[in-house]
Every structure is written in C-alpha cells, then in structure tokens.
Amino acid sequence: MLLTVVWFFTLPQGILMGDDLALVYGVQHGVLTPLSSLTTTPFDKYRPIPTLMFWLLISLFGNHFTAYELVNVGVESVCALLVFAIALRVSRGNVWVATCAGALFITSRFAYYQVVQVMGLFEGLALAFALAAIREVAIAYQSGTLARLWRTPVWFALVIFTDERYVVLAPFLVLAALLHPAARARGRETIALAAAPLLLVAANVLLKERVFHARFLTGTGTKPISHDPWQVASFFWTGLLSVAGFNTGPDYLSARDVSELGAAGYMLGSLCALGALGAFGVYLFARARESAAAVTRDVVLGLALFVPLLLSAAVTFRQEYRWLYAADAALIVGLAAAAAPWRAHPAAVRSAAGALAAACILTSLAYRSYLGNVYFMYSMGDAKTVRAAVTAHRHAPAVIISHNDRSIARWVFQRHEFFDEYGLGDVPVTFIAAGPGPPAAIDPKADTFDIRGGQVVEYPPVTVQRP
C-alpha cells in the first residue's frame, strides 16, 4: 500500500475529462442507472459489475477526482497482494522473491491508466478477479487436490462480466483442470471443471449477441477486433517487446519509444529481457532434472496463460499499454516460479531476484519521466489549463494551446459537459492545436463544434500569450 501510494500520488493531480467526464456526467444526469447497467451495452460492451460500481462511487464522490484515485490505489494494492501471494506459492515460500514480484507489479509501465483514470477501476477489478483465479490454480497444484479449482469458475464469471477481454483465460483454466495430477483419478470432476469456463464463455457470447444484439468482441471506439494476421502479428511482437523491457509504439501510448531513449533504453531493456531469459533457462535446466513431465506441464500452463493474454492486446487497431498489464503480471509470476528449483541456494536466488527487480524498476523510472506524452496524461493537463484560464478570466475569451491531435479537444471536454461539471459558465474558448500542417488543410465543418462558442483550429506551432 505504501509503495502504491508513493508511486502514483507523486504524479500530477488528475481532473475529470474524456471518458471519465462522460461517465460521471452520465450518472449525474440519469443516463447511467443501476437498471441500465444491467440491461444495456454501451459501446457494444456488457460490463454490469464495474458499471454498478461506477454508479455507486459517482453517487458518493461527484467530481472529487482524488477520491476515485484513492479507490483505484486500494484496488491496485489488492492486485499487488494477489501477485505476492501467487509468487509466494510458486516460488515455494520465498518471501524475498514474492516481495520483488509485488514491487515489480506496482511499478509496471502498464499500470498508470488503472490508477490515474476514473475508468481505470474496471481494469483493476478485472485484473484482481483474474489474479484470484490464477491463485486458486496455484493452490490446487500445491495441495494436489481438485477441490480448489471449483472456485475458478466463480472468479472467471466475475472477470468476463467485468471485462470480456479476459475470455482468453479459458484455455489456461481448461488445461489447469486437465493437467492436474488428480485429473485421471477423478475423471468426471475433471471434465466438469474443464467444461465450466467454456460454458461461461458461451453464456457471455449468447447474452451479448442474442439478448442485447451486440458484437461479442468490440475494440476501442466500438471498432471490431482486427482479423488482419499481419497487423495482429505486428502488435503481438511489439507487445512482447514492451513486456520484455523495450517500450515500443507511438509516444501517446508508450510514453517514449525505446529508439528515442537511445543507448540507455536499449541497455535497460536488455538487462530486463536477458535477465528474464536467463531465469527461465536456469529454471528449465533445474526442473528438467527433477521431472521432464512436470517441466513440460509447467511450460504448457505458462504459455497457455501468457500467450492469450498478450494476444488479447494485439487484435485491435492500436495497442494501449493498459492491455499489456495482465500479460506483464503473468510474466512476473512466471519469474517467481523460476526461483522454486533453487531454494537450496537462497543467497544466489536473493541476489538474482534483487538484481532483476532493480533493472526492471530502473527501466520503469526511465520511461516514467516521459509519462506526460501519454494521451490521458497530457489531456488532463489541457483540461486543467482550460479550467485555470476560464476561472481567472471569466468574462473574456480564453485561448488554449492544445496538442497535435485536432480531435483531442472534443474528447477531453465532451462538448459542454466539462464546463457544466466545473461550473465555468459561458466563456468562449478557442483551442489551437500546435501541430504540423497548413491551415488550408483544415475542414471548418469537421473542426468546429459547439462548445461554449469555441472552436478547434490547427496552425503551425505558435505561442499565444494572453494580454
């Protein structure tokens, strides 16, 4: 909890804008109600659990942004404790390794949206439910009984009705039942456990498609998931590189591409990637000497968990870093498991785990300094700038310099909702996107919108100073 608070509350204070603003405004104006959260699919998504949570929290907190961040910090801490608990199991009781795992989870480069956005709560809840299911699998394997696996369908149902992206956990849960040491002795129970997640996926699909007449899987911005194999493969590769330690992708998603960080970025990424490869290599060597069948089972289960989670962040038209957080958590748990065969050498394990954790945390710190490049961070900065300018000059137009994306002002301020929410009145605001491109290339109809009489105009980089 202390590390989570320090890591996230040293960032700039947030403000309602964009999707957060639309969500809060919708609850306050009766668009989102407990009934509608159970009976509608906004943006082609059926997520009744987080929607009910949002309705409750918004009814309590209003536009007090810090209260939402505190809730998200609490959920993030629960997730970190679950990672710690799983790592403690799979490392066979190594507290130091489990502590390093929890610290790596909190300081992950993929965690920010989960805490610093109101809507990050649904990502946090979904990951918590997924981690709870993984923990039950770890306990079931350590205890040697199938009984604990009966809890996994409960967690799986909670997670897919929080975020349908986690249907990709189904292969892992099916294999966890089929490969369990007691599976053959309890054949009928094993079949029932293997069928449970598949039936839950079918129920989720039927509910969305037949009852609500919505697409089963819909990407960001209501766009369908990608079926372009080259694009999916490209995103899978960039996601793998990012999880391994090399930030890859445009700055508005990745904060900073490793190529722009120079030699330092490649060096830090190499320490993380080579350290992880070394840990898995040593694990396979040691575990194979114990039991070839056991190491095969472990590898199959590990890949069945990691690969689908990574693939779920690749079947879209862009790759947001928050989607990689679950795969990163799976990798961290895998690294903790790699320490298990070497428990007879505690000093070496402590040194290796500490060195790898230090390299990964340093990598996160290096990219953290560029967090202002990420779209939801600089958008909150724009929103705070507008609020301060209008508050200081209520009876005169406010001129605001924005970023390259000319659509960002529409999304950030949601037309008039931002001004209503913060009681800013009818002061006209002109947003100037300081990006490349001649003014002649602008479509006036597309770039003008009704927001307190203001408009978005894109010019070459300029500096506007208020008199």
DSSP string spanning 250-315?
A: -HHHHSS-HHHHTHHHHHHHHHHHHHHHHHHHHHHHHHHHH-HHHHHHHHHHHHHHHHHHHHTTTS
Question: Please, which residues bridge with residue 459 across strands?
Answer: 434
- 389 and 362 within one domain: no
The token pair that represents 270 in the structure block? 């190499």
Contact 405, 432 (CB under 8 A): no
Contact 216, 208 (CB under 8 A): yes
Does a structural domain hold residue 466?
A: no
- Could you tell me the maximum CA-CA distance found in the chain, to the nearest angstrom? 82
Cα–Cα distance measured from residue 167 to residue 309, given in angstroms and rounded to the nearest whole number: 9
The token pair that represents 132 in the structure block? 């709870």
- 397 and 363 within one domain: no
Cα–Cα distance measured from residue 245 to residue 256, given in angstroms and rounded to the nearest whole number: 12
- 433 and 330 within one domain: no
- 189 and 253 within one domain: yes
Q: How far is CA 250 from the centre of its chain?
A: 17
Does a structural domain hold residue 408?
A: yes
Domain that holds residue 86: 2-373
Which of 326, 354, 373 is at the close of a domain? 373
pLDDT for 294 = 85
Residue 422: is it exposed, middle or buried by C-beta count within 10 angstroms (0-12/13-18/19+)? middle
Which of 329, 345, 373 is at the close of a domain? 373
Which of 373, 407, 436 is at the close of a domain? 373
Picking from 333, 316, 353, the residue whose alpha carbon sits closest to that of residue 130 is 333
- 389 and 323 within one domain: no
Q: Torsion angle of alpha carbons 47, 50, 53, 58, nearest 10°?
A: -90
Question: Please, which residues bridge with residue 387 across strands?
Answer: none
pLDDT for 307 = 97
End-to-end CA distance of the chain: 46
| Residue 135 CB contacts under 8 Å (≥ 6 apart), including other chains | 82, 85, 86, 89
Output the 3-class SS for 366-422.
HHHCCHHHCHHHHHHHHHHHHHHHHHHCCCCCEEEEECCCCCHHHHHHCCCHHHHHC
The token pair that represents 383 in the structure block? 């929103």
Residue 354: is it exposed, middle or buried by C-beta count within 10 angstroms (0-12/13-18/19+)? middle
pLDDT for 267 = 96
- 258 and 136 within one domain: yes
- 152 and 235 within one domain: yes
Q: Which residue has the tokens 């694009």?
A: 231
- 318 and 298 within one domain: yes
| Residue 376 CB contacts under 8 Å (≥ 6 apart), including other chains | 18, 113, 116, 117
Residue type, 388: A
Does a structural domain hold residue 464?
A: no
- 399 and 292 within one domain: no
- 427 and 294 within one domain: no
Residue type, 278: G
Question: Please, which residues bridge with residue 456 across strands?
Answer: 431
- 397 and 366 within one domain: no
Cα–Cα distance measured from residue 159 to residue 165, given in angstroms and rounded to the nearest whole number: 9
DSSP symbols for 422-438: TT-TT--EEEEEE-SS-
State whether residue 224 is helix, strand or coil. strand
Residue type, 296: T
Does a structural domain hold residue 467?
A: no
The token pair that represents 335 in the structure block? 């690294």
Does a structural domain hold residue 418?
A: yes
pLDDT values of the chain reduced to their tens digit, one per residue, 467 residues: 889 999 999 998 899 999 999 999 999 998 888 888 888 777 778 889 999 999 999 999 999 999 999 999 999 999 999 999 999 999 999 999 999 999 999 999 999 999 999 999 999 999 999 999 999 999 999 998 899 999 999 999 999 999 999 999 999 999 999 999 998 888 899 999 999 999 999 999 888 888 877 777 776 666 767 678 899 999 999 999 999 999 999 998 999 999 999 899 999 999 999 999 999 999 998 888 777 888 899 999 999 999 999 999 998 888 999 999 999 999 999 999 999 888 878 898 999 999 999 999 999 999 999 998 898 998 898 788 778 877 776 655 555 555 545 556 678 888 778 888 988 876 666 665 544 443 333 343 443 333 333 444 443 333 333 33
CB atoms within 10 A of CB 244: 17
Q: Which residue has the tokens 């293997």?
A: 194
Cα separation values, 279 from 92, 341, 350, Å: 16, 11, 12
pLDDT for 441 = 38
Question: pTM of the full predicted structure?
Answer: 0.89
Picking from 77, 76, 74, 85, the residue whose alpha carbon sits closest to that of residue 123 is 76
Picking from 377, 389, 369, 372, the residue whose alpha carbon sits closest to that of residue 432 is 389
Question: In the chain, how many domains are there?
Answer: 2
Cα–Cα distance measured from residue 388 to residue 466, given in angstroms and rounded to the nearest whole number: 13
Contact 263, 271 (CB under 8 A): no
- 137 and 274 within one domain: yes
Does a structural domain hold residue 465?
A: no
